[in-house]
Copies of this chain bind each other. A is one copy, B any other.
């Protein structure tokens, strides 16, 4: 065991079990790699039958009682030595932070120059970038045949060989988002050969929410299984919120730089320039943003294709770029300057998430010409990005009825050389506002089965308001279900072990094991206790649904007891008449008599 420096057993914190000292049935463990500082976190569930089950864990140091975390200090920079050891990056002064980065107008009395130390109280830091502007991306390393510690980390996490990880990244079929300025992350990989991942969006808006809330939403989302988090803040304190989120996040952080750029020009799309945008990208890259959504596929010529749509352009980024194109009657500055953008991203290892600005916002608009015209452009941009060794994934819809979903992933894979697809849902109907986690969970599970690598969650508040803490949890859990259902359907090695362990526990009435193995142990336990709160009911060989007389699991156990397991069927059948007699002799009681 290493990292003793961050382990302070004297300050045990266990965020998951408010009742200290209570046996919680699982603990945070680490799988060690080939070097002492390469330790992959897992959730080790201890079953009452003495067995244990190892589950993928995204919750970071917050669930390790041996690590003393403090959001004002940030997480330990796990990857720092790996990055430094590569010797291909350098620290530099960095772009000064300006009041307008936080949406503060020049005339505001609250203005004034600040620096990173001022906005985040953690350790002093300077940004880092590729020496001489070189590409310091996992893609560049993979292409050179190098297996980085990050690759080994995800190989252990995914239970595959490091060479498989390297190959998938080198081929552009997977991305490992890991900005050199975000050393705090526990590396993860996004690609169709790996476990399906889930992204959770957070972010304040001009209307509501605060910095503290956003940091808390991030740790909350990762606790329930979010693999990445996008900070989509649009209001005040956009720079500072992001700094706090990054310094405290164990997962890669994504953003849409266009939102902040627009804030800098007071929300006037036509005043956006390549220079303002580029400055914003550098600002965010220096902070450590791991992937950026770039709506460079919204070209001038495609805007009219949306005019007769039922719901026009529903992507914020897409509509901003469309408005800019219209205002100037010019080709998109993102499209025009895409190569320079690639050079910037390559120097920090920021991964592209090529945005689908023209994604359909209703069932009626699914798979239309605007959407697929943009997809073809994304394919073209993917090729360019790869030339600059920039890791790239492609965003997808949106609102799509079930029978039109497969065409989306098939076309994307063909047009974009199998680059990872990253979809928002899709929502399979428009009629259920307040339940769009479900309308989209259906589409998400299907498209992930067919090859989508990461799913962007949708919360119950979609179309209606900003998600609160409960909504974030519901969104993440729903999407973890979709992702795991897809892992099962893809036959991902080891995926079914989790289901098997839970079903074994269910069949054997090991209630505590069922709860501890559940995606959401708290709610499972709460629902059980609601009907049968008594402690003995936790070991009862029946449950409240059927009561003691009707329990089918109980009857099945009797059948198994009668017939044993592992014997050939013919033996069993031959032995049945005899068994039948024994069964009768034993009183013919397959049910417990119910108390009058």
Q: Which residues of A contact B (CB under 8 A)?
A: 105, 108, 205-208, 234-235, 259, 262, 266-271, 300-301, 303-316, 318-320, 322-323, 326-329, 361-364, 399, 401-403, 428-435, 437-439, 441-442, 445-446, 449, 460-466, 468, 477-478, 480-482, 484-486, 488-491, 496, 498-500, 502-504, 506-507, 514-515, 517-520, 523-524, 526-528, 530-532, 543-553, 555-560, 562-567, 569, 572-573, 576-577, 579-581, 583-584, 588-591, 593-594, 596
Contacts and interface: CB of A to CB of B under 8 A. Distances in A.
Contacts of A460: 527
A545 B466 contact: yes
Given A441-B438, A446-B446, A500-B310, A207 B556 contact: no
A519 B432 contact: yes
A465 B532 contact: yes
Contacts of A439: 481, 485
A-B residue pairs, 8 tightest by C-beta: A312-B556, A465-B531, A206-B547, A329-B580, A362-B503, A319-B555, A402-B489, A319-B552
Contacts of A361: 503, 506-507, 552-553
Given A460-B527, A464-B527, A524-B433, A311 B481 contact: no
Contact of A401 (B327, B438, B485, B507): B485
A326 B580 contact: yes
B234 A311 contact: no
A577 B325 CA distance: 10
Given A311-B556, A499-B364, A557-B312, A547 B205 contact: yes
Contact of A519 (B307, B435, B518, B547): B435
A431 B498 contact: yes
B430 A322 contact: no
Among the interface residues A432, A463, A488, A489, which one has the most CB atoms of the partner chain B within 10 A? A432
A491 B262 CA distance: 41
24 contacts: A206-B594, A234-B549, A262-B549, A268-B589, A307-B560, A307-B572, A308-B566, A312-B557, A318-B552, A323-B558, A326-B576, A327-B583, A361-B552, A363-B496, A401-B488, A428-B488, A430-B502, A430-B506, A431-B517, A432-B480, A433-B502, A433-B518, A446-B446, A465-B544
A313 B481 contact: no
Contacts of A270: 584, 588, 590
A50 to B, nearest CB: 19
A435 B269 CA distance: 42
A461 B269 CA distance: 49
A442 B482 contact: yes
Contact of A205 (B311, B478, B544): B544
Nearest to A108: B596
B312 A259 contact: no
Given A310-B504, A580-B326, A432 B316 contact: no
Contacts of A579: 326, 329
Contact of A461 (B207, B323, B527): B527
B589 A465 contact: no
A532 B207 contact: yes
Nearest to A529: B465
Given A527-B465, A565-B307, A569-B304, A314 B556 contact: yes
Given A267-B549, A442-B481, A301 B362 contact: no
Contacts of A563: 303-304, 307
A280 to B, nearest CB: 15
Given A234-B550, A311-B507, 15 more contacts: A259-B550, A266-B593, A270-B588, A305-B569, A306-B556, A308-B565, A311-B556, A402-B486, A428-B485, A433-B502, A434-B524, A464-B531, A465-B527, A465-B531, A466-B544
